[in-house]
Amino acid sequence: MSDVADVQKEIVDDFAMFSDWSERYQYLIDLAKALPVFPEELKCEANLLKGCQSQVFVHFAPRQDRLEIQAISDSSIVSGLISLVLRVYNGLSMADVIATEPSFIDGIGLSKNLSITRKNGLAALVARIKAEAALRVG
C-alpha cells in the first residue's frame, strides 16, 4: 500500500508546481491527451458511468487478482480527472482498490475547485471502481 500512497503524494506534488487553477486545469487537459485510446466497441451502455454529467465510459479487465481499468470521457477536464484516478487504482489488487481512499482529491484542492457535477462524477467513478473490485473479491 505504500506504493499507492507514494503515487498519491506524487500527484499532489505535481499539482503543487502550479500557482493557480487555470494552470492546473490546463494540466488536467494535458493529462487527458495522454490517456490511452479507448476502443470504440467498448463505448456502450454497459460501460457508461451513471452519475456523471459528461459521458464517461469505464471498462474493467481483471487480470489474476489485479484490476485493469480503461476509461474516457467526452470532456477533456473529466478525462484528466480519469487519468489521475487510473494512476492511483489501475493495476492494484482487488483488496488494495477497496482499501485505497483517494486522498489526492483533497490534497490537490479538487474538493474546493471542481463544480458540484464534476465532484459527483469523480465520486461516482471511484465508487464504481471500488464496487467492481468488491464484486471480484472471493
CA-nearest of 1, 36, 28, 5 to 107 is 5
Which of 11, 32, 52, 77 is catalytic? The answer is 52
Question: In the prediction, which pLDDT does 137 show?
Answer: 83
| Confidence grade of residue 63 (pLDDT, cut at 50, 70, 90) | confident
Name which of 39, 45, 48, 52 is nearest 81 in CA terms: 52
Q: Domain locations in the chain?
A: 2-136
Tell me 75's DSSP state.
S
Q: Which fold has domain 2-136?
A: Sufe protein. Chain: A (3.90.1010)
The pLDDT score that the predictor gives to residue 53 is 82
Q: Work out the average pLDDT over 35-51.
A: 94
CB-based contacts of 11, cutoff 8 Å, min separation 6: 84, 87, 88, 104, 107, 108
> Residue 57, SS3?
strand
Tell me what percent of the residues of the chain surpass a pLDDT of 70: 98
The answer, as to whether pTM is greater than 0.75, is: yes
Residue 44 known to be catalytic: no
